[in-house]
Structure formats: structure tokens, C-alpha cells
Amino acid sequence: MFILGLTGGIGSGKSAASAFFRDAGITVVDADMVAREVVEPGEPAWSAIKERFGNDAINEDSTLNRAWLRQKVFSEPEERRWLEGQTHPRIRDRITEQLAAAKSPYAILESPLLFESGQCELVTSTLVVDVPEQLQVERASNRDDNDPEQIKRIIAAQLPRQERLQRADQVVDNSGSLDELYKQLSALHATYLAASSTTS
């Protein structure tokens, strides 16, 4: 099956782009959602986090204290790498299963860390949603009500923009309106449909 890897830094517009493809009937596997599944209470990664960080990392209702953990891992890179060591292999296994179950003409893996985590090995072609860094900070801090400095630390933990662009098979520019984004995606969707009818 033709699988498109959809990526971009925090706040670049991956969710906006994947909403377009979902509306067109394409199955989208969202790595951020899968990342939440693997740390649900009782899951092995949840237990490992509880053991390493204690109750600071866990809310009263047993769910992960995401705000505490975000603060921790984006200011201490070795803790981020430890967390990724616990979560990424499990995220990858579930993504593989979910992509295999997709029934649409082609499928999409939406992931902020497609290149960084090696998830790009699971896809046929890659599409980067690109905006300048300043716009990433603006849009992401408005959306999450997050401190811009926190967003900058997250950007620093991701692939630099130029490297991401170099690794992309295709790029869409999301510095304009959503309509302008959708116009670019509509043209690409037609090419993915054509590619999937020859590969399947």
C-alpha cells in the first residue's frame, strides 16, 4: 500500500493538513495520538515513567501529568531521550499495526518526529508542511496557551528546518491561508491517488 509520511515541526499545520486528507476519505494514523495510548495508566511505559519520576509525573486520577513531564523533558535532554527510549518502540509497533489495517486507497502517517524517530522507514513518500520558525512559535503558543520560550525549546529538540526540507520528497508552504494550503494538498492528493492505483 502507498503510505504517505506527513510531517513538520510543532505548530506547522500537520493537523490542518491531515484534516483535509481525512475529509477526502484517507485513513490517517496520528503518532501524537498513539503516543498518548502507550502511556495510558497501567501500560508498561506508564509504569516505567512512574518508577523513574515518582508521583510528580502522575495525576491523582493516575493519568500522566503531561504539563509536568513536558517541562521536565524539554529542559533536560537526557530525560527526553530516556522517555523516547520507553515510548518510541511501542509507538512504532502500534503505528505499524494501524497502518496495516487501513482500507482507504492510500494511508497517511502523521508524525512530528517522522525523520528523527526513523518512522520514515514505514512510509513510501514524505510530505513536509513548512512555515518559518517565527510562525511556528506564534501559532503553537496561541493554540496551546503555552509560553513561547517553551515552544522554542521544543523546536530545538526537533530536526532543524533546513534538514527537514532536504529530507522531504515534497513540501507544502503553510505560511498563507488555510485555503492556500488546501489548494496545494488537493493537487498532491490527485498524484497520491494515481501513485496508489499503480502500486497496489
Ligand X SMILES: CC(C)(COP(=O)(O)OP(=O)(O)OC[C@H]1O[C@@H](n2cnc3c(N)ncnc32)[C@H](O)[C@@H]1O)[C@@H](O)C(=O)NCCC(=O)NCCS
Nearer to ligand X, 144 or 169 (CB): 144
Burial 69-86 (b: 16+ CB within 10 A, else e): bbebbbeeeeebebbbeb
Task: Give the amino acid at 140.
Answer: A
Q: Shortest Cβ distance from residue 172 to ligand ATP (Å)?
A: 10
Single residue of 21, 88, 92, 112 touching ligand ATP by CB under 6 A: 112
Taking residues 155 to 184 in sequence order and writing x for each that binds ligand ATP by CB under 6 A, - otherwise, the string is -------------------x--xx--x---
Secondary structure class of 142 (helix, strand, coil)? helix
* Number of chain positions touching ligand X (CB under 6 A): 20
Secondary structure class of 189 (helix, strand, coil)? helix
The C-alpha angle with vertex 96 and arms to 71 and 14, in degrees rounded to 5, equals 50
Nearer to ligand ATP, 48 or 150 (CB): 150
The stretch among 9-17, 53-61, 69-77, 120-128 that binds ligand ATP (CB under 6 A) is 9-17
Single residue of 3, 6, 10, 123 touching ligand ATP by CB under 6 A: 10
Q: Say how far apart CA 13 and CA 21 lie, in whole Å.
A: 13
Q: Which residue numbers belong to the known binding site for ATP?
A: 11-16
Nearer to ligand ATP, 16 or 99 (CB): 16
Packing angle, helices 77-100 and 44-53, rounded to 10: 170
Q: Say how far apart CA 105 and CA 109 lie, in whole Å.
A: 14
Nearer to ligand ATP, 43 or 173 (CB): 173
Q: Does 7 bind ligand ATP (CB under 6 A)?
A: no
Taking residues 59 to 98 in sequence order and writing x for each that binds ligand ATP by CB under 6 A, - otherwise, the string is ----------------------------------------
Q: Which conformational region is residue 8 in: left (phi greater than 0), alpha (psi within -120 to 50 degrees), or beta?
A: left
Q: Say how far apart CA 12 and CA 16 lie, in whole Å.
A: 9
**Residues lying near ligand ATP in the complex (CB under 6 A):** 8, 10-16, 32, 112, 139-140, 143, 174, 177-178, 181
